[in-house]
Amino acid sequence: MINVSSMLGQTPAYGASIYSSTKAYLRFLTYAVGEEAKDKVDFLSVNLGYTSTAMTRYNKGIFTVLPEEVAYGIARDLGKYRETDATFRQHVSGTLLHLFPLSTRIGIMSHFLRRSQDRNNS
Amino acid sequence: METVKRVKEYLDKAPKWVIYALAAYGLFRTVKAALCPLAAVWRYKLRGIGNLLQRYGKNSYVLVTGASDGVGKALAYQFAALGFNLVLVARREALLEAIKADITGKFHVSVVNISFDLSQGASFPQLTAGILERISSLDVSILINNAGVGQNATTFAGLTTEAIENLLNLNLVAPTLLTHLLMKQRDCTKAQ
């Protein structure tokens, strides 16, 4: 059972109120049900960062990854871990982000989301 | 500076074992900090995919929601390449048909398409009739709740009612109900 969550599921941000809440929900659900049924079912929660898809308007950047890399990472970690960042690059960006306390993380993520909002509007 | 001075004074008078304990802790943290990047390289760069077919069953199916584009499409190709049969669920039927034709041409797997709008049909009766009953004869061993919709950096107050319903149905209600229904269908409800 694989649930695709997001880095925004650990850090809420400007303009992602409901999105990040639902992703945090998915992450917690995966953990709880995974604990209940751990003898029978493998659960994997995937914390995606910036992936180049329609949702992100195919934007590219240093921490952007391709859907194919994500898919490979998910297949690699299924059954071995309960949570994954899918790719090395997203693991690095996630680890760097989590060096900061939550309040700072919210500011950082909000900065990026506001920037992408400006870019989409222009 | 006052604190540093006091700590120094305390350490000068402290018993030997306190110094050793602190040194051991420091060593532990240093080694851990040095090993973390190595562990990450091993986990995300060096390891390969294990034998998933053996673990989840030959001829079993992988159900991917939101399979018409993006990560879902990539997941469909990835699991087809590993030898799994596929159940692809998405709203846009034409895109699913194209993916099915491409995958069955490339890999020897069977693909079942289900055209279903999870943002409209996120309820027990609709999911049961639209998806669960159509896969009851198949051995679906992996469920991938991938379908989701973003918020396009819109503020909470600025969202339309329709957008809020879409977000909740697709990102929250549909994965919850699908997971529950499939676990019940496969009788995963009781712990062993």
Q: Mean pLDDT, chain B, as a whole number?
A: 91
Those of residues 83-122 in A touching chain B at CB distance below 8 A are 85, 87-88, 91-92, 95, 113-114, 116-117, 120
Contacts of B55 in chain A (CB under 8 A): 79
DSSP, residue by residue, B54-69: HHH-TT-EEEEESTTS
Tell whether A75 lies on the interface with B, counting CB pairs under 8 A.
yes
Q: What is the mean pLDDT of the segment spanning B138-145?
A: 93
> B156 CA to chain A: closest CA distance, Å?
6
Over residues B65-123, the pLDDT tens digits come to: 999 998 999 999 999 999 999 999 999 999 999 999 999 999 999 999 999 999 998 89
Say whether pLDDT at A83 is over 60.
Answer: yes
Q: How many CB pairs under 8 A join A and B?
A: 140
Say whether pLDDT at B192 is over 80.
Answer: no
The reply to whether residue B152 touches residue A68, judged by beta carbons under 8 angstroms, is: no
CA distance A32 to B148: 21
The reply to whether residue B159 touches residue A76, judged by beta carbons under 8 angstroms, is: no
Tell whether A59 lies on the interface with B, counting CB pairs under 8 A.
no
Contact between B135 and B61 under an 8 Å Cβ cutoff? The reply is: yes
Contacts of A41 in chain B (CB under 8 A): 183, 188
Say whether pLDDT at A77 is over 60.
Answer: yes
Question: Kind and range of the H or E element at A76?
Answer: helix A67-77
Contacts of B172 in chain A (CB under 8 A): 22, 25-26
Say whether pLDDT at A120 is over 80.
Answer: no
Say whether pLDDT at A98 is over 60.
Answer: yes
Sheet with A44-48: strands ordered across: A83-84, A44-48, A2-6, B140-145, B61-65, B85-90, B111-115
Over residues B6-64, the pLDDT tens digits come to: 988 888 888 889 899 999 999 999 998 889 889 999 999 999 898 999 999 989 999 99
Name the pLDDT band for A19 (thresholds 50, 70, 90).
very high
The reply to whether residue A2 touches residue B144, judged by beta carbons under 8 angstroms, is: yes
CA distance B33 to B27: 10
Domains, chain A, ranges and CATH? 2-121 (3.40.50.720)
Specify the pLDDT at position B190.
54
Q: Mean pLDDT, chain A, as a whole number?
A: 87
Three-class secondary structure of residue B109 per DSSP: coil
Count CB atoms within 10 A of the CB of residue B58. Answer: 11
The reply to whether residue A117 touches residue B152, judged by beta carbons under 8 angstroms, is: yes
Contact between B142 and B62 under an 8 Å Cβ cutoff? The reply is: yes
Burial of B81 (0-12, 13-18, 19+ CB in 10 A): middle
List the single best residue of A76, A80, A118 to mutate versus B (max B Cβ within 10 A).
A76
Q: What is the mean pLDDT of the segment spanning A80-86?
A: 91
Specify the pLDDT at position A20.
93
Of A1, A34, A85, A115, nearest to B62 (Cα)?
Answer: A1
Say whether pLDDT at B191 is over 50.
Answer: no
Q: What share of chain A is helix, strand, coil (3-state, %, to 5)?
A: 55, 15, 30
